[in-house]
Structure formats: structure tokens, C-alpha cells
Amino acid sequence: EKRRGVESANHRWNNSVAILAGDILLAYTSRMMGQLGVETVQHFATTFEQLVTGQMRETVGPRGGDPVEHYLNVIREKTGVLIAAAGYLGALHSGADKQHIKAVERYGEAVGMVFQIVDDIIDIFSDSS
């Protein structure tokens, strides 16, 4: 199985190794963020929680709810919050004021959602080989 033309870790090794690779990256990231301060660690933890919630939501499906609303919630929680966090933390550590930090965070969420929509469209219309 490939992702953007590159063999996935899951396909190359196996699911257990892919999960453990993610775990070690999370440990490295947590250590580095600890050096940046409590607010950074807390924001990252909240972001990670939302990412996992989005993955769970995607796995469970809309369960009779509005599929469009479900899809938008999933991409916000899986991709939107990730890019939003990058914007938030970048603005925070550049010394921006709270108003600008919030604006960059909202912009990042929108960019992340648009990216995911485009990526999903590419997946739908691309050759599976």
C-alpha cells in the first residue's frame, strides 16, 4: 500500500511496527516540547486528543447522522487541528499577541481542512496502482 507514491510503514513492515514508530516519534516530540514550556505541551496534548477523536469518529462512521457534517468534523479533527496547532505554536513562539495567535490558528484550521478535501478528491480520482 502506498501513500502519495511512497510505501507506507504499515505495508513495509507491519501494523505493530508502524504503531511503535509513531509511539517513539510521540516520545521524541514530547521531550522537545517540554523544553518549550507548559503552554506548548498543553496545546500539543489537546491537539493530539482531537486527532485521536477524529480518527475514532472516522472509524465509527456517521451512524445515521448527516454524512457531510460527519466528514467535516473528521477532517477538522484530523487535519484542521494539526495545521491550526502549527500556526498557533508558531505564532506563540514568535511573540505574537493573543489576537494574532487566534487568527493564525483559525487560518491554519481552514488551510488544513481545504488540504484534506483536496487530498481526498485526489484519492478518489487517482489511479489506485
Q: Which residue has 505564532 as its cell numbers?
A: 91
Q: Are residues 65 and 18 in the same domain?
A: no
Same domain, 95 and 76: yes
Considering the domain architecture, whether residues 71 and 114 belong to the same structural domain is answered as yes
In this prediction the pTM is 0.82
User: Which of residues 8 and 106 earns the better pLDDT score?
Assistant: 106
pLDDT one-digit tens code per residue, 15-52? 888 889 889 998 998 899 899 999 999 999 999 999 99
How many whole angstroms from its chain centre is CA 40?
16
Do 47 and 14 lie in one domain? The reply is no
Higher pLDDT, 2 or 58: 58
Angle in degrees, CA 66, 108, 105, rounded to 5: 100
Domain of residue 49, residue span: 37-125
pLDDT in tens, 54-86: 999 999 999 999 999 999 999 999 999 999 999
Same domain, 44 and 30: no
User: Is 17 found in the same domain as 64?
Assistant: no
- Same domain assignment for residues 50 and 79: yes
